[in-house]
């Protein structure tokens, strides 16, 4: 705080008074920016460079980091667990994103026309977004338990459907966790789609109706094309979310994180375990660089798609 | 608004299709909050009644809450999360809007570069930074401290970006008038510009608070001492140790969820508007 008043408190009011307005602006601007710019340099930029450097070292936290070139990357790409994790991460993305986008668009599209209890219905969909993944993971975990404990299996049982293993199954655990992640973020995506729908001028719809277009044609030829920026934003946002999935997986499989048999383990959980369970910091840093490259490519693709609009 | 009410008035009557859509949407919404309903319902059941899946408990009891809260750890985690989320939010409101204002309203060499540099940090995922942050925190003795949990989030590029959009809409005449009246630049920002962007400030406050309240990854890494856990991390470890007593886990989950639900009930309008603003601008 003292920095903000320094021009005066330092007794410079005489010379300060003679500075031109433009110079004063520069002094004020850098006074305001000094601390935050220092912060960004120390907490974002320097650690980014350090992350790249550490990925080229062998480092266990106890001994000095030793430079080993690209060995971590060679080791990573030769590791079958990495490719399993890579496939899992993309499974969350490839199935999760389209389901989340289509579902949230359909709900937003119809919710936009609902006038009765609109606020209440919107709140019902939105509330899960405000919860802590760590808490909700345990609620869902309970739902997926075998009978007689699990809620879903109890319901299936009363319908005469055999009990499902869910989180205990190599095939069902990943979709079961993915469903939780979709559930948690659906409300956010619905709100964003509704904002996009509201931004389309009513006159477009009126003109289309006068031209005799039906609801389906209006949806295909006006609503969906005009929503493209919103959709691209949500696809990228949701993709990044699924590529970085951690909280749900960690909490829903905490007795065997990423299990059973690594079938649910995403890249971020692998990074966490490599760094903070086995203390292979350099190897973990190489994994974070791989994650960075994937996320960076997706962000660039977004910019490219929006530019070619 | 008009896009939503227009079809109704155009047709003049409620059509059957609309009733079907409403019913499906309503039932879908009920399904969406079912996990929350089960969580609260189970937290009010005694151990023997957990597997009775009726939503309204036979003999509701607050015994689970008494048990979990008298344990002491929950109070501590609750306090930790509250303090951390509050301090980080205040810091972000102050610094993000000060930086955003400077970038929007001052002319100085390097302005564009500073803005682009800050914006570029949005591309860097937290996961890439946690190892260097952990190293930094351990060198500075910040492991197992509030500062260690808080420091990465004290200024955010997202907040700078969001606030800058809004400061650009503040008319320069207002600022000039204040300058003529002899206010210094800090006072102009604080007394003239900030009050004009309160909707954006409240959106940023809610986002930052909720984000920090529910944050899991970094607090999990930087704390080893259970008395410094945040609520999500504490709950996660608590649930592992209680893994058979679902009524206690659900009570813990309910305690972690109640504050955010309360915030939503009080600030519903701002939250929905804030999400819309951030989505459209971001």
Choosing among A135, A209, A233, which should be mutated to test the B contact, i.e. which has the most B CBs within 10 A?
A135
**Euclidean distance between the first and final Cα of chain A, in Å?**
46
Q: Which residue has the higher pLDDT, B182 or B218?
A: B218
In chain A, residues with a C-beta closer than 8 Å to the C-beta of B221 are 272, 276
CA dihedral A212, A225, A94, A298 (to 10 degrees): 180
CATH of the domain at B242: 1.10.3720.10
Question: Residue B8 has what DSSP assignment?
Answer: H
**Cβ atoms of residues A262 and A285 within 8 Å:** no
Are B44 and B75 within one domain?
Answer: no
Q: Domain coordinates of chain A in residue numbers?
A: 78-308
* Burial tier of B169 (Cβ tally within 10 Å: 0-12, 13-18, 19+): exposed
**Cβ atoms of residues A263 and B119 within 8 Å:** no
CB contact under 8 A, B32 and A192: no
Are B153 and B230 within one domain?
Answer: yes
Domain boundaries, position B19: 2-49
Reading the block at residue A185, the tokens are 């973020």
**Euclidean distance between the first and final Cα of chain B, in Å?**
22
**Polymer length in residues for chain A:** 309
Q: In this structure, is residue B239 part of a structural domain?
A: yes
Q: What is the mean pLDDT of residues B147-172?
A: 94
Give me the residue from B8, B189, B276 closest to A115, CB to CB.
B8
Are B172 and B259 within one domain?
Answer: yes
Chain centre distance of CA A106: 21
pLDDT tens per residue, range B211-238: 999 999 999 999 999 999 999 999 999 9
**Cβ atoms of residues A134 and B268 within 8 Å:** no
CB contact under 8 A, B118 and A40: yes
Whether B54 has a pLDDT exceeding 90, the answer reads: no
Residue A308's pLDDT is 64
- Where is average pLDDT lowest: A229-233, A239-243, B264-268, B276-280? B276-280
Give me the residue from B38, B51, B131 closest to A51, CB to CB.
B131
Residue A241's pLDDT is 94
Q: How far, in Å, CA of A108 to CA of A195, rounded?
A: 9
- Where is average pLDDT lowest: A153-157, A249-253, B240-244, B246-250? B240-244
pLDDT band at residue A115 under the 50/70/90 scheme: confident
Q: What is the mean pLDDT of residues A127-140?
A: 93
CA distance A171 to chain B (A): 23
Are B196 and B128 within one domain?
Answer: yes
Residue B6's pLDDT is 45
Are B179 and B245 within one domain?
Answer: yes
Write down the pTM of the prediction: 0.90
Q: In this structure, is residue B64 part of a structural domain?
A: no
CB contact under 8 A, B275 and A192: yes
Q: How far, in Å, CA of A117 to CA of A123, rounded?
A: 10
Beta strands A66-67 and A57-58 are antiparallel
* Number of neighbouring beta carbons within 10 Å of residue A149: 15
CB contact under 8 A, A187 and B106: no
pLDDT band at residue A306 under the 50/70/90 scheme: confident
Q: In this structure, is residue B60 part of a structural domain?
A: no
In chain A, residues with a C-beta closer than 8 Å to the C-beta of B250 are 138-139, 142
ipTM of the complex model: 0.89
Residue A104's pLDDT is 97
Element (H, E) at B138: helix B126-139
In chain B, residues with a C-beta closer than 8 Å to the C-beta of A25 are 106-108
* Number of neighbouring beta carbons within 10 Å of residue A201: 11
Residue A309's pLDDT is 54
CB contact under 8 A, B216 and A246: yes
* Omega before A148 within 30 of 0, i.e. cis: yes
Q: What is the 3-state secondary structure (H, E, C) of chain A?
A: CHHHHHHHHCCCHHHHHHCCHHHHHHHHHHHHHHHHHHHHHHHHHHHHHHHHHHCCEECCCCCCCEECCCHHHHHHHCCHHHHHHHHHHHHHHHHHHHHHHHHHHHHHHHHCCCCCCHHHHHHHHHHHHHCCHHHHHHHHHHHCCCCCCCHHHHHHHHCCCCCCCHHHCCCCHHHHHHHHHHHHHHHHHHHHHHHHHHCCCHHHHHHHHHCCCCHHHHHHHHHHHHCHHHHHHHHHHHHHHHHCCCHHHHHHCCCCCCCCCCCCCCHHHHHHHHHHCCCCHHHHHHHHHHHHHHHHHHHHHHHHHHHCC
CB contact under 8 A, A138 and B249: yes
Residue B10's pLDDT is 43
Whether B239 has a pLDDT exceeding 80, the answer reads: yes
Are B131 and B170 within one domain?
Answer: yes
Are B45 and B91 within one domain?
Answer: no
Angstrom CA distances, B3 to A53, A202, B53, B272, stand at 53, 5, 42, 18
Q: How far, in Å, CA of B212 to CA of B62, rounded?
A: 28
Chain centre distance of CA B98: 21
Chain centre distance of CA B211: 4
pLDDT tens per residue, range B83-140: 999 999 999 999 999 999 999 999 999 999 999 999 999 889 999 999 999 999 999 9
The domain defined by A78-308 folds into MetI-like fold (1.10.3720)
Q: Which residue has the higher pLDDT, B51 or B68?
A: B68
Reading the block at residue B72, the tokens are 């002491």
pLDDT tens per residue, range A56-91: 999 988 888 899 999 999 999 999 999 999 999 999
Describe the crossing of helices A133-143 and B231-241 by its angle, rounded to 10 degrees.
30
Best-predicted range by mean pLDDT among A152-161, B26-35, B269-278? Answer: B26-35
Residue A58 pairs with which residues in a beta bridge? A66
Are B37 and B86 within one domain?
Answer: no
Angle at A306 between CA A301 and CA A308, to 5 degrees: 95
Instruction: Report percent pLDDT > 90 for chain B.
Output: 70
* Omega before B53 within 30 of 0, i.e. cis: no
Choosing among B32, B137, B186, which should be mutated to test the A contact, i.e. which has the most A CBs within 10 A?
B32
pLDDT band at residue A2 under the 50/70/90 scheme: very low
Choosing among B279, B280, B281, B282, which should be mutated to test the A contact, i.e. which has the most A CBs within 10 A?
B279
Are B43 and B151 within one domain?
Answer: no
Residue A3's pLDDT is 46
Whether A35 has a pLDDT exceeding 90, the answer reads: yes
Q: How far, in Å, CA of A69 to CA of A56, rounded?
A: 5
3-state secondary structure of B2: helix
Choosing among B8, B35, B161, B163, which should be mutated to test the A contact, i.e. which has the most A CBs within 10 A?
B35
**Cβ atoms of residues A236 and B279 within 8 Å:** no
Q: How far, in Å, CA of A303 to CA of B271, rounded?
A: 27
CA distance B225 to chain A (A): 15
Domains: count for chain B: 2
pLDDT tens per residue, range A217-237: 999 999 999 999 899 889 998
Contacts of B78 (CB under 8 A, 6+ apart): B231, B255
Are B43 and B76 within one domain?
Answer: no
Angstrom CA distances, A271 to A77, B142, B152, B237, stand at 14, 22, 19, 20
Residue B110 backbone zone (phi > 0: left; psi -120 to 50: alpha; other: beta) = left
pLDDT band at residue A5 under the 50/70/90 scheme: very low
CA distance A288 to chain B (A): 5
In chain A, residues with a C-beta closer than 8 Å to the C-beta of B99 are 32-33, 36
**Cβ atoms of residues B129 and B121 within 8 Å:** no
Whether A178 has a pLDDT exceeding 50, the answer reads: yes
Residue B279's pLDDT is 63
Are B29 and B96 within one domain?
Answer: no
Q: How far, in Å, CA of A255 to CA of A268, rounded?
A: 17
Are B214 and B114 within one domain?
Answer: yes
Whether A149 has a pLDDT exceeding 70, the answer reads: yes
Average pLDDT, chain B: 89
């Amino acid at each position: 705080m003292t920095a903000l008043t320094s021009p005066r408190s330092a007794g410079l009011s005489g010379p300060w008074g003679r500075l031109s307005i433009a110079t004063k602006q520069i002094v004020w601007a850098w006074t305001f920016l000094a601390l935050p710019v220092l912060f960004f340099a120390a907490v974002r930029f320097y650690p980014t460079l350090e992350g790249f450097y550490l990925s080229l070292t062998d480092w266990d936290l106890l001994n000095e980091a030793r430079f080993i070139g690209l060995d971590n990357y060679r080791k990573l790409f030769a590791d079958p667990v990495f490719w399993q994790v890579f496939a899992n991460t993309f499974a969350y993305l490839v199935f999760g994103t389209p389901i989340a986008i289509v579902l949230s668009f359909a709900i937003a599209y119809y919710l936009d026309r609902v006038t009765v209890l609109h606020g209440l219905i919107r709140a019902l969909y939105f509330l899960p977004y405000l919860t802590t993944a760590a808490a909700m993971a345990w609620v869902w975990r309970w739902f997926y338990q075998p009978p007689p404990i699990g809620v879903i299996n109890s319901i299936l049982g009363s319908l005469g459907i055999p009990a499902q293993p869910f989180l205990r199954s190599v095939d069902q655990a990943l979709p079961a966790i993915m469903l939780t992640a979709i559930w948690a973020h659906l409300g956010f995506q619905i709100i964003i789609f509704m904002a996009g729908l509201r931004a389309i001028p009513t006159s477009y719809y009126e003109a289309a109706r006068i031209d005799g277009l039906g609801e389906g044609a209006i949806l295909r030829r006006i609503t969906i094309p005009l929503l493209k920026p919103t959709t691209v934003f949500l696809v990228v946002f949701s993709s990044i979310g699924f590529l970085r999935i951690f909280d749900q997986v960690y909490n829903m499989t905490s007795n065997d994180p990423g299990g059973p048999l690594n079938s649910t383990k995403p890249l971020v959980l692998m990074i966490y375990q490599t760094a903070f369970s086995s203390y292979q910091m350099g190897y973990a840093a190489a994994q974070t660089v791989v994650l960075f490259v994937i996320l960076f490519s997706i962000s660039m693709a977004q910019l490219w798609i929006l530019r070619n609009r | 608004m008009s896009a939503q009410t227009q079809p109704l008035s155009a047709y003049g009557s409620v059509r059957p299709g609309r009733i079907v859509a409403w019913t499906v949407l309503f039932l879908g919404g009920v399904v969406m909050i079912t996990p929350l309903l089960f969580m609260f319902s189970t937290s009010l059941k005694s151990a023997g009644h957990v597997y009775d899946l009726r939503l309204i408990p036979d003999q509701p009891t607050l015994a689970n809450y008494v048990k979990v809260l008298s344990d002491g750890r929950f109070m501590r985690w609750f306090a930790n999360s509250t303090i951390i989320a509050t301090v980080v939010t205040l810091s972000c409101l102050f610094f993000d809007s000060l930086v955003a204002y400077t970038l929007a309203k001052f002319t100085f060499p390097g302005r564009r570069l500073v803005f682009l540099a800050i914006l570029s940090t949005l591309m860097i995922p937290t996961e890439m930074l946690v190892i260097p942050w952990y190293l930094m925190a351990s060198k500075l003795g910040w492991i197992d401290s509030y500062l260690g949990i808080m420091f990465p989030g004290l200024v955010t590029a997202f907040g700078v970006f969001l606030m800058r959009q809004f400061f650009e809409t503040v008319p320069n005449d207002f600022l000039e008038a204040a300058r003529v009246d002899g206010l210094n630049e800090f006072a102009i920002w604080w007394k003239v510009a900030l009050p004009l962007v309160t909707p954006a400030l409240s959106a940023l406050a809610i986002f930052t608070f909720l984000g920090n309240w529910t944050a899991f990854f970094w607090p999990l890494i930087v704390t080893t001492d259970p008395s410094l856990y945040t609520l999500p991390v504490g709950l996660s470890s608590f649930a592992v140790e209680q893994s058979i007593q679902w009524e206690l886990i659900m009570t813990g989950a309910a305690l972690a969820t109640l504050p955010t639900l309360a915030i939503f009930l009080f600030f519903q309008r701002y939250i929905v508007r804030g999400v819309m603003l951030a989505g459209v601008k971001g």
